[in-house]
Structure 1
Amino acid sequence: MRRFRFLRNPPASGLGGDVEAFLRYLGGPSCIFLEGADSSRCRAFVTLLHGNEPSGARALFRWLKSGQQVAVNTVCILASVEAALASPLFSHRMLPGTPDLNRCFRPPFTGPQGLLAEEILELLALHRPEAVVDMHNTSGSGPAFAVCTHMDRQHEALASLFTRCLIVTRLNLGALMEISDHGCPTVTIEVGGRMDAEAHQLAYEGLCRYLLRPRILARDDRDQGLELLQDPIRLELNPGVRLTCGERAAPGFDVTLRPDIEQLNFGTVSAWTPLGWVSGELRRLFRARDAGGGCAVARLVREEGGRLYPAAPLKLFMITGNAAIAASDCLFYAVEVAAPPPAWKPD
């Protein structure tokens, strides 16, 4: 655990005047312990697993500057501080040449990112939190949602502190949320786009509820129900596939996405909603696996006349037109919808 800087109840006066000064004060991976009014229990808040996702760090900095006391002991982990500080601020998902930290939470824990992930797991095991919230921003603009790998009342209650949409997935990617079980419910909270002021505000308001409420694992009867989306499928680029965005098919690229592709986040698209243009056979360009491990490319996308369309009515989220993120992570997640919207066909 030598990689971490440890702080206990840090005074607000020493944290700097803004979030950048706060991160420079931390300098690297940090663990902040906050003493609660009830010291018999503990919660955990994890953020900055990706250095280009600032809302969680901004929310925590704002909380620490407020001088409020948490309801129960809380351990706060800020992981990719160095990536966040790499110029320009909050622009690097991870440092060049390093793997995605949120794909390293399973053995073997090799390399600096794997060792950092292992240390985070050791910290959580040491403090034995009653719940873990892992806060992120989405790659593109869009509404907030939560993701978990187990569905029960505790996970539902935890997600409802932040959002009205919960995605339940069986994908095994090596993400932190995959440690979840009935003894320690863990949710990923995607608060929205990293550049969106609404995402920063939602992150802070949700964090306040998480830190201030004495009980967080039971739903309030007045709460509205969550929209549940089951078993999303990831559409990924195959290695070497060249992607860009544009108003028309771009010469020299295998996939050209429409420039406003991110506006489809959490929208229900018909089988005739244009996504972009492709050059080549779809299985050469894309890969997708369903929960059973089968190839699902044909369930997600189709090609007609060089144009890319959904293969069926879908709800899409985590859409990105960022080529670097698409290559290292995915283009989007999708779930099939039962009731298609009114379809239209282009001329």
Structure 2
Amino acid sequence: MADPAPEALGATPEALLERLDQPLCITLAGADPRRTRVLVTLLHGNEPSGFIALHRWLREGKRPATHVVCLIASVAAAQLAPRFSHRTVPGARDLNRCFRPPFDIDPPGHLARRLLEVIGSVAPEAVVDVHNTSGAGPSFAVSISADERHRTLASLFTRRLVHTDLRLGALMEISEHLVPTVTIECGGRLDDAAHTVAWAGIDHFFTRDELWADIPDPGAIEVMHNPVRLELTEACTLAYDRAPRTDVPLTLRADIEHLNFGITPAGTHLGWVRGAGLRDLFVARNTAHTCVLEDLLCLVGGELRTRRPLKLFMITTHPGIARSDCLFYAVQDDGRELVPRRTEPEDAV
């Protein structure tokens, strides 16, 4: 779809979504056709802020500073009832884990390869991939680089950047080979403020004449380095509640997502554990593939607590996402990578 007229897009984002029968590529002619920028959204069907913001921007009839390619990916998942509630089509792989070979094993792999082909064919000066967080929390960016260009892209949307060496097959990993790329986590998917973050950032990304003319000062962007990813073991089942449950080994605080990005002191209560040890429930490895679980958490009388001051983010209260993806990410309270240190034996449950 090239330069769609505002009225052709439908009055609402939902109206546009219902018109689609496959992933959509929208191209916009800009003031400088020699340069191209790429926006990707709806890689996850339950993360609508980028799609909602793009629809709003297009309906306003603005003209971008450069040629722009907009890729709307997981249309089928987003269309499942109720709209914007399914991360993927049931049983399908997470699309944002498919941007590395092999591509020919399933439909998400085929779509990931096609998206990469489109991006490669236009040789963009930057790519922004807009997401929502799994739980409530403030906005942040994620990138495999924290250099000036990646910090600049992040600053169009937020003042926080997570720099990670993890390689999971995410779209942002094309920064290694092709073009500066950041993932933007706008905040909770049902939060109007997240839609506003997405719209304001997209407007900056589309209309700024020179992306790299205004490099933010190093102190203007809070950078968190190489977070530990806390995953659940295959055997772990969990629930979220205000008191310990007897039907699962792990009960997490119902309000745990409120710990997103604040300083979480040592000894902070996260939940309750019943009849299990830490390693029965969790896996936590740093980028050197060293287990740092006992540096991160401890058990005190059946309560799950933080062992040291931390900064936690991407905390989810969705059991399905906690099991299929991860529970949260963590760095030291000053943003540095969590490194192993000598720990005391695990407390009795």
The normalised TM-score by structure 2 is 0.93
1:78 aligns with 2:75: no
- Contact 2:152–2:216 at 8 Å: present in 1 too? no
Partner of 1:329: 325
SS in 2 for 1:288: strand
Identity among equivalent positions (%) equals 51
* Alignment partner of 2:45 out of 51, 67, 71: 51
SS in 2 for 1:166: strand
1:302 aligns with 2:298: yes
Partner of 1:42: 36
CA distance change for structure 1 residues 10 and 56 in 2, over 3 Å: closer, same or farther?
same
CA distance change for structure 1 residues 125 and 95 in 2, over 3 Å: closer, same or farther?
same
1:237-276 aligned within 5 A: 237-276=232-271
Partner of 2:82: 88
* Alignment partner of 2:94 out of 93, 96, 100: 100
1:150 partner amino acid: S
- Contact 1:156–1:219 at 8 Å: present in 2 too? no
Distance 1:118 1:129 in 2: 17
1:161 aligns with 2:156: yes
1:78 partner amino acid: I
SS in 2 for 1:8: coil
Partner of 2:116: 121
- Contact 2:151–2:216 at 8 Å: present in 1 too? no
Moved over 2 A (4+): 217-224
Partner of 2:346: none
1:11 aligns with 2:1: no
The alignment of Structure 1 onto Structure 2 pairs a total of residues equal to 333
Cα RMSD for the two superposed structures: 1.5
Partner of 1:135: 130
Residue 240 of structure 1, CA deviation: 3.0
* Alignment partner of 2:27 out of 24, 33, 49: 33
Distance 1:105 1:270 in 2: 37
Distance 1:97 1:244 in 2: 22
1:305 partner amino acid: G
Residue 28 of structure 1, CA deviation: 2.0
SS in 1 for 2:113: helix
The normalised TM-score by structure 1 is 0.93
SS in 1 for 2:317: coil
1:230 aligns with 2:225: yes
- Contact 1:155–1:217 at 8 Å: present in 2 too? no
- Contact 2:10–2:16 at 8 Å: present in 1 too? yes
